[in-house]
Amino acid sequence: MHDKLKFDPIRSELHGVLMTLGLVAALTAVLFALVWEVGLAHGSVVYLIPVVIAATRWGIVSAVVAAICGVLASAFFFYPPLYSFRIKDPQEVIDLILFIFVAVAVSQLATRLKRQLEMARQREIDLRDLYAFSRRLAVAFDVSDIHAAIEDHLASVMQRNVVLFPSAREASNSSGRRAGVTVPELVLSEAAEVASGHRDTTAGATVTAASGEIWLVRAVSPKSPEFGVIAINLGRESKERSDELRVRVDAVLADATATLERLGVAHAISEARMRSQTDQLREALIGSVSHELRTPLASILGAATVLSAAPALRNEKKLTALVHDVRDEAERLNNDIQNLLDATRISSDGVKPHVEWADPADIINSAAERCRHRLADRHLIVDLPADLPLIHVDPVLVQQALIQIFDNAVKYSLSGSQIAVNAHTHDGHLIIGVTDQGAGLTIAEKTKIWGRFARGERHAATTSGSGLGLWIANAFVAANAGKVTAVSEGPGLGTTVAIELPVTQAAVPQLESDTDE
Amino acid sequence: MSEPSPIVLVIDDEIQIRRFLRTGFELNGFVVHEAGTGTEAIRSATLRPIDLVIVDLGLPDMDGADVVERIRSWSSVPIIVLSVRSNEAEKVHLLELGADDYVVKPFGMAELLARVRVALRRQMRAVSGEPTVKAGPLTIDLAARAVLLNDKRLTLTPKEYRLLQVLAQHAGNVVTHQHLLKEVWGSIHVHDTHYLRIFVRKLRQKIEPHPDSPKILVTELGVGYRLVQSGNELDAPAWPESAPAKSET
């Protein structure tokens, strides 16, 4: 279908006629040689060959030209009197009628066949487009995803530069370059007008940009304004051509709107809008609440550390213990708030890792260092091979995941027990394992621990925490293309939580050996 | 501290934070000036001699980063930043603006004092032109370009020495990856963090008693490296009284 938009009928017809003439001339030359060399009597029937070829390949005009030229050529070259168009034999008149009849019949047949083939191909393309479009809609998460899908769908159906403005605001704020297309200023202002509903939008308006290109601006659907306003670059066309194109745009848009309505896009858009508003509200709330909570916490913690070091309290054992309680509880509260903030970050806009080349030993050591206070009454054993590969990750995220795992190990094990950290590479992955001698996991717990707010029910009464720890660890590691696994022999037999991160062996950068020495 | 008491300017809009910092500093022999806004802070810093600035990032009238930049434009006084957000990119940005170090809120007084002492000592060394830097068993003689471990001279490659030299010039303070890469390998390699990782590993093999748990050349994840100085302020735990048994590694 879209071929027709680009098609120049006169030029291609001319091409067909020229090809036909060439064909007839070539055939005549061959026949001429045959007649003289072999003594062939009449060759006129052979001229059916170019007629059929022209009819099937270039259409009816070329076929008729082939028929006429064939008859003329045979009259001129092969029927007496030779080298004259005069005809003695009535046979030739019959030839001419036969040729023209074959030309018309074959070209009709061929054209119909061609059209059917084209339609079938177009249907296939349309179906594929539609399928891709509906799949994109199915995975679209927010309004902008849906609009991008509509925009791409229309662009592929129209075979033109298409820009979709979801709202008036979007159109007036647009920088003029969208989706790799430069949109003229005039078109932007027109789109803003149409989107704000100031204009009757059914027919749409054409805008001629400074470059001479004609843009059609109209609402995607007059009934459903949430589909937005579309601007289509019609190119530099004559008035008639662009009118023709507008009719086609109408047809395509009517089709597209029906599709959009059928797929429930309008509903999806308004739902996505609502979802994002709720999310924003929740995020803002948690953000401000945790800020408000953390500021006084900083004062409490700071003041407690000043007090605990104060000379006046040096010999007051009981008071010092109280001050330590204040400090420890404030620190715990701070960790809980940090977890809530992390959880909000994960579920609201996802985690965006800042990757760099990092030494796994550095990550493990600094996580242990950050947990030093909490790990103080556990027996921590770190055993790392000297030749661990560098990994391409966000080291801070991996460190925070490790801290959560350490925290968890401390929470579910007894004072004085051992926590072992080791690392090795296996099958293109770096595996960091943290093994405790604590409560272990039941089979049911193994699947539950990864949930949000998951807490060991057996320990709910004795341990504190929000149950976010492993969920956060998992999300932070997943953001680095890795995963977290937990293995336990059973309840009371300890747990090994392991972080698996990909080692891109081929991509591990090497220093040129001469950079140093 | 037998010297005249060092003067610290505390810039924070939270009066409770200023109050505990004042008490904490005064108990440790400092003289404290306070400022609640950026403008007040800059005026205060121009009017009186100060030895150290502590600045909070969230000020009501201007960004803490602007305060750092303004003060740095005329003074080399050590600046330590208090940041609520543990955002590595922001830390790097502040260090590049000229802050000497940072502490993430909430923090303990001991942790802040350790950073403060390091910054003051670096300033003193810069003024006196003291050519040797000691970090645990390691001695770096910047004038003689010699590195000694337990008084035994080490053989370092030129790049290893350059790396150690840059860290020693900022001994105790964190030095960003970008700064190290620029100083040692040149500005075109400013993003080639893996160069650093590989060389730091080699260097640790030579200078650390236990290279797999480094105590001299320590990593500040996502930010840079720090050469931990002798004197052991930074070795002391952030909560000195409550770390009974040192955890084994």
Give the integer Cα–Cα distance in Å for A240 and A259: 29
* Whether the predicted pLDDT of A141 surpasses 70: no
Q: Determine whether the interchain pair B24/A306 forms a contact, defined as Cβ–Cβ distance below 8 Å.
A: yes
Check whether residue B199 and residue B103 sit in a common domain: no
A 319-348 near B (Cβ less than 8 A): 320, 324, 327-328, 330-331, 334
Q: Which of B89, B199, B244 sits opposite A376 (nearest CB)?
A: B244
Check whether residue B100 and residue B147 sit in a common domain: no
Residue listed under structure tokens 């392991």: A498
Which range of residues forms the domain containing residue B178? 131-227
Q: What value does the mean pLDDT of chain A take?
A: 79
Q: Name the least confident of A177-181, A376-380, B122-126, B223-227.
A: A177-181
Q: Specify the number of domains making up chain B.
A: 2
**How far does A374 lie from chain B, in Å, by closest CA?**
9
Check whether residue B135 and residue B122 sit in a common domain: no
Average pLDDT over residues B54-59: 89
Give the integer Cα–Cα distance in Å for A393 and B194: 12
Check whether residue B15 and residue B122 sit in a common domain: yes
Name chain B contacts of A306, Cβ cutoff 8 Å.
20, 23-24, 27, 109
Contact A492, A459 (CB under 8 A): no
pLDDT computed for residue A61 by the predictor: 83
Average pLDDT over residues A440-464: 70
Name chain A contacts of B206, Cβ cutoff 8 Å.
none
Domain A140-263 has CATH 1.20.58: no
pLDDT computed for residue A16 by the predictor: 84
B240 inside domain:
no
* Whether the predicted pLDDT of A46 surpasses 90: no
Average pLDDT over residues A2-29: 75
Give the integer Cα–Cα distance in Å for A42 and A253: 59
pLDDT band (50, 70, 90) for residue A6 = very low
Give the integer Cα–Cα distance in Å for B101 and A331: 22
Q: How does pLDDT run across A218-230, given as a tens digit for each residue?
A: 887 777 777 778 8
pLDDT computed for residue A304 by the predictor: 93
List the domain boundaries for chain A.
2-122, 140-263, 270-349, 356-507
Ranked by mean pLDDT, which of A243-252, A282-291, A408-417 comes out on top? A408-417
Would you call B13 an interface residue with chain A, using a CB distance cutoff of 8 Å? no
Average pLDDT over residues B165-184: 91
State which amino acid sits at residue A440.
G
Single out the residue in B126, B154, B174 at which a domain terminates.
B126
Angle, nearest 10°, between helix axes A317-349 and A265-308?
160
Return the higher-pLDDT residue of A362 and A516. A362
Check whether residue B14 and residue B121 sit in a common domain: yes
Check whether residue B203 and residue B94 sit in a common domain: no
Percent of the residues in chain B that have a pLDDT greater than 70, as a whole number: 90
pLDDT computed for residue B35 by the predictor: 93
Average pLDDT over residues A345-363: 83
B244 inside domain:
no
Cβ contacts of residue B27 below 8 Å, gap of 6+?
A: A306, A309, A310, A311
pLDDT band (50, 70, 90) for residue A462 = low
CATH code, domain with B111: 3.40.50.2300
B207 inside domain:
yes
Single out the residue in B126, B158, B183 at which a domain terminates.
B126
Check whether residue B93 and residue B163 sit in a common domain: no
Ranked by mean pLDDT, which of A40-49, A195-204, B93-102, B227-236 comes out on top? B93-102
Name chain B contacts of A356, Cβ cutoff 8 Å.
177, 193, 222
Check whether residue B17 and residue B112 sit in a common domain: yes
The CATH classification of domain A356-507, taken from the options 3.30.565.10, 3.40.50.1700, 3.30.70.20, 3.30.70.890 = 3.30.565.10
Check whether residue B107 and residue B159 sit in a common domain: no
pLDDT computed for residue A445 by the predictor: 79
Check whether residue B120 and residue B162 sit in a common domain: no
pLDDT computed for residue B234 by the predictor: 42
Query: What is the ipTM metric for this complex?
Result: 0.82
B249 inside domain:
no
The whole-angstrom distance between residue A357's C-alpha and the CA centroid of its chain comes to 27
Percent of the residues in chain B that have a pLDDT greater than 90, as a whole number: 45
Return the higher-pLDDT residue of A195 and A132. A132
Average pLDDT over residues A468-481: 88
Cβ contacts of residue A115 below 8 Å, gap of 6+?
A: none
Check whether residue B19 and residue B106 sit in a common domain: yes
Residue A94: both structure tokens together: 């019959």
The CA-to-CA distance between both ends of chain A, in Å, stands at: 67
Q: Determine whether the interchain pair B222/A302 forms a contact, defined as Cβ–Cβ distance below 8 Å.
A: no
Check whether residue B118 and residue B12 sit in a common domain: yes
CATH code, domain with B150: 1.10.10.10
**How far does A315 lie from chain B, in Å, by closest CA?**
13
